């Protein structure tokens, strides 16, 4: 039987290795977005839609707001948010993988977005001041963390009083899945 993964560093490394190995995905998360949203993105970016939902509309973004996207990957939701907050607003995409951030920077440049920056950091330790941002987004990333309470506490800390969180993520009922599946290493990254 597959050995269970009990250590958070081991899980984080496994997730990082799995995402680092992704070469040319075919936009599995594309189904979650509206045609209008898809039209805003470069076709090359759409292939990197790895999220599980569409949290941007739920955030009800307004012009001028500051936004952070946790575990932003190639910056799909960050780009959509950047278009909504406009030039008076700003979006910061945070991800632990430099290769994903490089893609995000390329896609943002291709889309002509100057109000979007990417930061290499872990979502469990955000390099952000307290009470500083209006909105925290995340799409399919929090379930990948071995320290979810820490991620949520960091999101809370970074938000200004009155700020908003909008998250799309997977939930499961552990009783519905056999242990052989739950303990499979790939199931931590997928």
Partner 1 sequence: MSGALAERVFVTKLQKVGFTDVAVLDRQPFSMAAAADYPLFTPDLLELMERLLPSSAKEQVATAVTVTAGKPA
Residues that bind partner 1 (CB under 8 A): 11, 18-19, 22-23, 25-26, 28, 32, 50, 52-55, 58-59, 140, 143-146, 148-149, 152-153, 155-156, 159-174, 176-178, 180-184, 186-190
Provide the minimum distance between the beta carbon of 81 and partner 1 in the complex, in angstroms, as a whole number.
Answer: 14
Q: Please tell me what DSSP assigns to residue 4.
A: P
H-helix or E-strand containing 144?
none
67 - beta bridge partners? 91, 135
Cβ proximity to partner 1: between 28 and 87 the closer is 28
Cβ proximity to partner 1: between 105 and 160 the closer is 160
Cβ proximity to partner 1: between 76 and 155 the closer is 155
- Give backbone dihedrals phi and psi of 9, rounded to 5 degrees, phi first: -65, -35
Cβ proximity to partner 1: between 129 and 170 the closer is 170
Instruction: Find tokens 């939701």 and name the residue.
Output: 77
Q: How many CB atoms lie within 10 A of CB 27?
A: 17
Cβ proximity to partner 1: between 61 and 113 the closer is 61
Q: Please tell me what DSSP assigns to residue 87.
A: T
Cβ proximity to partner 1: between 107 and 188 the closer is 188
H-helix or E-strand containing 95?
strand 90-95
Provide the minimum distance between the beta carbon of 152 and partner 1 in the complex, in angstroms, as a whole number.
Answer: 5
- In whole angstroms, what is the distance from residue 92 CA to residue 114 CA? 11
Provide the minimum distance between the beta carbon of 112 and partner 1 in the complex, in angstroms, as a whole number.
Answer: 28
Provide the minimum distance between the beta carbon of 175 and partner 1 in the complex, in angstroms, as a whole number.
Answer: 9
Provide the minimum distance between the beta carbon of 53 and partner 1 in the complex, in angstroms, as a whole number.
Answer: 5
H-helix or E-strand containing 44?
helix 43-46
Order the strands of the 116-120 sheet from edge to edge.
116-120, 90-95, 66-70, 133-139
Provide the minimum distance between the beta carbon of 83 and partner 1 in the complex, in angstroms, as a whole number.
Answer: 19
Radius of gyration of the chain (CA): 16
């Amino acid at each position: 039987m597959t050995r269970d993964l009990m250590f958070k560093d081991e899980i984080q490394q496994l997730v990082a290795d799995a995402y680092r190995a992704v070469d040319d995905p075919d936009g599995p998360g594309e189904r979650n977005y509206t045609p209008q949203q898809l039209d805003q993105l470069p076709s090359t970016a759409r292939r990197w839609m790895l999220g599980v939902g569409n949290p941007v509309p739920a955030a009800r973004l307004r012009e001028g707001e500051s936004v952070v996207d946790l575990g932003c990957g190639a910056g799909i939701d960050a780009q959509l948010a950047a278009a909504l907050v406009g030039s008076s607003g700003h979006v910061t995409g945070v991800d632990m993988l430099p290769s994903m951030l490089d893609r995000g920077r390329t896609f943002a440049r291709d889309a002509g977005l100057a109000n979007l920056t990417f930061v290499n950091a872990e979502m469990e330790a955000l390099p952000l001041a307290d009470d500083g941002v209006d909105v925290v987004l995340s799409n399919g990333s929090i379930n990948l963390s071995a320290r979810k309470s820490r991620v949520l506490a960091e999101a809370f800390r970074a938000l200004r009083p009155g700020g908003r969180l909008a998250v799309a993520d997977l939930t499961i009922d552990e009783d519905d899945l056999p242990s052989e599946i739950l303990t499979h290493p790939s199931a931590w990254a997928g």
